[in-house]
Amino acid sequence: MDAPSAFIADGLTKTFPGGTTALDGLSVAVPRGAVGLVGANGAGKTTLFRLLLGLIRPTSGRVEVCGAAVATDPIGVRRRLGFMPEHDCLPPDQTAADLVATFGELSGLPPRAARQRASDVLDLVGLDEARFRSMDGFSTGMRQRTKLAQAIVADPELVLLDEPTAGLDPMGREEMLALVDRLGTFGISVVLATHLLDDVQSVCDHVVMIDGGRLVLDGPTHKLLERAGTVRLDVGGRSEELDRALSGRGFTTAVLDDGTAEVTADGQGIDDVLDIVRDAVAELGLPLHSLSTGYASLDEVFLLKASGRADD
Amino acid sequence: MSTGDPTQAATGSGHPTQAATGSGDPAFAAEATVEVAELSVWFGPKVALSELSCSFGPGVTGLLGPNGAGKTTLMRAMTGLLGPKSGSVRVLGQDPRRSREVQRSLALVPEDEAVPPALTARQLVRYVADLHGVAARMAVERCLEEVDLIDVADRRVGGFSKGMRQRAKVAAALVADPTVLVLDEPLNGTDPVQRAHLIALFRRLGAQGRTVIVSSHVLHEVERLAERQIVLLNGRLAAAGGHRAIRDTMADRPRRVLVRTPQARQLAASLLGIDAVSGVTVDDGSLVVSSSRAGEVAVALPRLARDLATRLEEVRPLDDSLESLFRELVR
Amino acid sequence: MTDAVSAVGAVYDRGYRPYDGIRRGRAGTVAALYVASIRRALGIRRSWRQKVFPWVLLAIVTVPAVVNVGIGYVTRDTPAEGFSFITYREYVGVSSALLLFVALTAPDVVCPDRRHRVLSLIFARPLVGHDYVLAKVGAVTTIVFGFSILPQIVLFVGQMLVSDGALDYLRDNAEVLWQVPVAAGLLAVYYAAIGVAVASLTSRRIVGGVALLALALVPSVITGAILGSDDATGAVAVGNLLALPLHLRDVVFLGHVDPDGPLGGVAGAGLMAAAVYTAVLVAAVTILAVRYREPDA
């Protein structure tokens, strides 16, 4: 692990011959670990991946992956990368075991090592006897697992996953996200491209959000969810009682649509607010179902940021 | 009258039924517009739906289940695209396969269906409007505005991103002013802002009294969208009702709550003194308390914390979500 | 079992094992792609159905060799001895079996990669566009070469065995041992290059195969029509793309173009043929370079 960044983009712009600008001056340094790359379809995520892989050249700007400049050494970069595309890319007349082993060899592993790694990696993703069947009968879940397997067969430093939970049912999604989570424990960094902030929230410690080819957000997940000076709690719908108890002491309590209460205090540190709220709830004998000082979800964060943008 | 009263729930196959008091089985909505009675559909040896009985009414209902559970089959049966092998489906009292009148009030937005790429968004909606005999020009404009495509209405749909295509399909579905709207993965490919707009739109439509049925695998989204859920497993009804209420009926499985607090161990010890608590796990600076009577623990918690003068930094129920419910049901 | 034995125990980590072994460079990747493509085309590690065509065609093409050897055997002590059904030179030929074989193999080697969108996976590996081309053309060349050479080996060895003296036969026909491989090689490279280039233009194997056959047959028919009759000769015969490598084959075997063939008597025929051959190869390589241009693939 030489370079501390998974990748660094510097003024990265890509305009396609038709005139569409997929990326517009993107500058960001993305750390190792599990990073979420968020944006709607068409926001530029896939283009960014292709630029990282050196499959296309930027119109201007530069990009560096795991310390290697893509423009000067695309081969070196690809040696450290694994890629799981969003689209279907598995030939129907091959077995999963054969495909993963072949791609291991294509990544530079000697044949025997490739076969061993393929076997290990297919165990990891949970493809058991199915690996010896040809892939045309595979379900979406099995396909996604096979795609993930070929991405990590050569033990890459960094793996690019493009919408890995697409098409999966809730259990499949949970299993895939758990797998992605495990990659971190193996020392493999992940860039997870998705339009689902919930996926990012459960797995990624850092979030990069792009829209229309531009950077919108960049920061550690926990920091993004942080929120100064506000406490949100669910007291079983009895928020008004809490409001009455607290309003005399310089606290404002707002009651949200779902019945939860949001308490803010002017000038008081968050620690004091927490303690006073706790005591008030205890005294009133209200049930404390939930309490938090941050935003509930990244979705909420993004929405607030987006509407904030709309105002200026 | 609201449908799918969230305080009611029922689960099938071995789980205790009906928790709270209420009028009727949560599988059936009050003022039902879509009624499914003993519906069975099979394709050769594969049984897609097995004697399914439930109904949908005004408001937004989520239709959930693993792949192969029968959701798509049910949606197609509800919109008249395929017929039952036994049992029946009635929309607004009539058979959707036969009644043209009912077909006009019914709209299906399937997931993967391609839209003709050469049409512009406006042309697409206009075309569907003409198909249904909707003459009003304003209807087309209004629908395009509802889905936030009015600015790009004259661009070819073929050049749209997935999220925009989705919205175009929704606009086309809305133009005939349907009473019943069935949507398969309607939020696929959309960014958070578009998602929020669409969620607000669907909720508005539900509040207007339309029957909106949404099928999705992204449970976080369904949770924000629908008050009532219908869960299918293996072609049968597994659960129905508000997800919290459903969870409440599964009293044999305790609820777990995460609490972050500096004196976790001491608070854990206090909590164990409470009858309702069945177990506590302690970590550095946090604990997870399990209980089948979550309400009692919720009242005790702030009091015990105050008595120990330990700050409650976070209290988070771990299985309050639709996702965790789903996991329990499928297990 | 003593207590001492059961008192110790350990769990060895069953999780992920990082790979610290050898990583072959680009050459290794190209070699792996080359081998994988050959395996695919010959149906190795695939179902029996995929193996049928290549091997059946090979069997068909080997028939003349077997017949020749058979005749040689049967007539070995008779006055008809020495009769040859087919010469080595003629055997390095363009039979319909060979053409069919190329029309089958070349598309099979590149079209599925495009059709099933496997190219994205391949180009995420440490290789460049022309590595891919090299591996694929190399694979088809090898297969076509093998296809041409194996029957020749059967013929040669068979003739050797049915002749009066095997070593004498070997000595007398020594030049065949280099002529056949060179001519077969020229043929193989030519057909492989054209085959892969045409196939790279489409993602459907059938379209590629048909296009290839058309490319081979149409100029042949046209030049034939221009020439008029079977015995006519003329420089235009060099436009018969199908038969072009045969002229080079004749140069290898005879030192010059076949005097009985369509280029017989045409001045500088050998050089013309070589020039057109080279031009065709350059065109094929250019198409491939553009098709698999990368970055920007």
Per-residue pLDDT of B103-122, as tens digits, reads 888 998 988 777 888 889 99
> Which residue carries 């928020």 as its tokens?
A239
Farthest-apart Cα atoms in chain C, separation: 100
Q: Which chain B residue lies closest to A163 (C-alpha atoms)?
A: B189
What confidence tens digit (pLDDT) does each residue in C242-285 have?
778 888 888 877 777 777 777 777 777 778 888 888 999 999 99
Distance CA A175, CA A166 (A): 13
> Of A33-42, A118-127, C51-60, which has the strongest mean pLDDT?
A118-127
| CATH 3.30.1490.190 describes domain A227-294 | no
What CATH homologous superfamily does B9-105+178-249 map to? P-loop containing nucleotide triphosphate hydrolases (3.40.50.300)
Beta-carbon separation of C29 and A107 below 8 A: yes
Give the percent of chain C with pLDDT over 90. Answer: 23
Count Cβ atoms within 10 A of the Cβ of residue A102 and give its class: 0-12 exposed, 13-18 middle, 19 or more buried: buried
Residue C285 domain boundaries: 24-291
Lowest-confidence segment of A1-5, B49-53, C154-158 by average pLDDT: A1-5
> Of A155-169, B15-29, C80-94, which has the strongest mean pLDDT?
A155-169
Query: How many C-beta atoms surround the C-beta of residue A238 within 10 A?
Result: 16
Higher pLDDT, residue C263 or B226: B226
Is there an interface between B and A (3+ Cβ pairs < 8 A)?
yes
Given C19, C22, C124, which is nearest A155 (Cβ)?
C19
Beta-carbon separation of C124 and A83 below 8 A: yes
What is the model's pLDDT at position C42? Answer: 83
Beta-carbon separation of B67 and A169 below 8 A: yes
What is the model's pLDDT at position B239? Answer: 92
What is the model's pLDDT at position A310? Answer: 38
* CB-based contact C84:C73 (threshold 8 Å): no
Q: How far is B283 from chain A (nearest CA, A)?
A: 19
Beta-carbon separation of C295 and A54 below 8 A: yes
Count Cβ atoms within 10 A of the Cβ of residue A305 and give its class: 0-12 exposed, 13-18 middle, 19 or more buried: middle
Q: How many domains does chain C have?
A: 1
What would the mean pLDDT of A272-291 be, rounded to a whole number? 93
Q: How confident is the model at residue B6 (pLDDT cuts 50, 70, 90)?
A: very low
Q: How confident is the model at residue B319 (pLDDT cuts 50, 70, 90)?
A: confident
* CB-based contact B245:B7 (threshold 8 Å): yes
Contact A258/B at CB under 8 A:
no
What is the model's pLDDT at position A1? Answer: 46
Count Cβ atoms within 10 A of the Cβ of residue B168 and give its class: 0-12 exposed, 13-18 middle, 19 or more buried: buried
* CB-based contact B218:B183 (threshold 8 Å): no
* CB-based contact C272:C266 (threshold 8 Å): yes
Residues of A in contact with B161 (CB under 8 A): 40-42
Distance CA B303, CA B322 (A): 29
Lowest-confidence segment of A255-264, C13-22, C62-71, C228-237 by average pLDDT: C228-237
Q: Is C274 part of any domain?
A: yes
Residues of C in contact with A126 (CB under 8 A): none
What is the model's pLDDT at position C113? Answer: 92
Q: How far is B312 from chain A (nearest CA, A)?
A: 7
- The residue type of C90 is E
User: Is the confidence at residue B21, as pLDDT, over 50?
Assistant: no
Beta-carbon separation of A85 and C126 below 8 A: no
Distance CA B287, CA B299 (A): 17
Residues of A in contact with C122 (CB under 8 A): 106
Q: What CATH number should be reported for the domain whose range is B255-330?
A: 3.30.70.100
What is the model's pLDDT at position B28? Answer: 92
User: Is the confidence at residue A88, as pLDDT, over 80?
Assistant: yes
Q: How confident is the model at residue B10 (pLDDT cuts 50, 70, 90)?
A: low
Q: How confident is the model at residue A208 (pLDDT cuts 50, 70, 90)?
A: very high
Lowest-confidence segment of B49-63, B174-188, C4-18 by average pLDDT: C4-18
Q: How confident is the model at residue C297 (pLDDT cuts 50, 70, 90)?
A: very low
pTM: 0.86
Any chains having at least 3 CB pairs less than 8 A from chain C are A
Distance CA C37, CA C199 (A): 14
Contact A200/B at CB under 8 A:
no
> Which residue carries 């070349």 as its tokens?
C106
Q: DSSP readout, C33-59? A: HHHHHHHHHTTTTS-HHHHHHHHHHHH
> Which residue carries 């394709």 as its tokens?
B43
- Number of inter-chain CB pairs under 8 A, A vs B: 117
- The residue type of B65 is G
Distance CA B22, CA B24 (A): 6
Rounded to 10°, the helix C26-41/C96-115 angle is 120
CA–CA distance from A236 to each of A259, A286, A287, B78, B311 (Å)?
8, 8, 6, 37, 21
In chain A, what are the domain boundaries? 5-223, 227-294
Residues of A in contact with C118 (CB under 8 A): 89-91
Q: Which chain B residue lies closest to A278 (C-alpha atoms)?
A: B302
Assign 3-state DSSP to chain C and report helix, strand, coil percentages, each to 5.
70, 0, 30
What would the mean pLDDT of A271-299 be, rounded to a whole number? 91
Beta-carbon separation of B295 and A299 below 8 A: no
Answer whether A5-223 and A227-294 agree in fold. Answer: no
Q: Is C15 part of any domain?
A: no
* CB-based contact A250:A266 (threshold 8 Å): yes
Distance, C-alpha A241 to centroid of its chain: 40
Question: Tokens representing C136?
Answer: 């694929």
Is there an interface between A and C (3+ Cβ pairs < 8 A)?
yes
* CB-based contact A299:B197 (threshold 8 Å): no
Q: Which chain A residue lies closest to C22 (C-alpha atoms)?
A: A109
Q: Which chain A residue lies closest to C296 (C-alpha atoms)?
A: A56
Given A57, A90, A109, which is nearest C296 (Cβ)?
A57
Any chains having at least 3 CB pairs less than 8 A from chain B are A
What is the model's pLDDT at position C94? Answer: 66
Q: Which CATH class is domain A5-223?
A: alpha beta
What would the mean pLDDT of C207-214 be, rounded to a whole number? 90
DSSP E strand boundaries for chain A: 5-15, 21-31, 34-38, 60-65, 68-69, 81-84, 158-162, 189-194, 206-211, 214-220, 230-234, 251-255, 261-265, 290-292
Contact A226/B at CB under 8 A:
no
What confidence tens digit (pLDDT) does each residue in C36-60 have?
999 888 877 777 777 787 788 888 8
Q: Which chain C residue lies closest to A136 (C-alpha atoms)?
A: C116
Pairing of strands B314-317, B255-260: antiparallel
A interface test, pick of B217, B244, B330 with most A CB neighbours within 10 Å: B217
Q: How far is A55 from chain C (nearest CA, A)?
A: 5
B interface test, pick of A209, A299, A303 with most B CB neighbours within 10 Å: A299
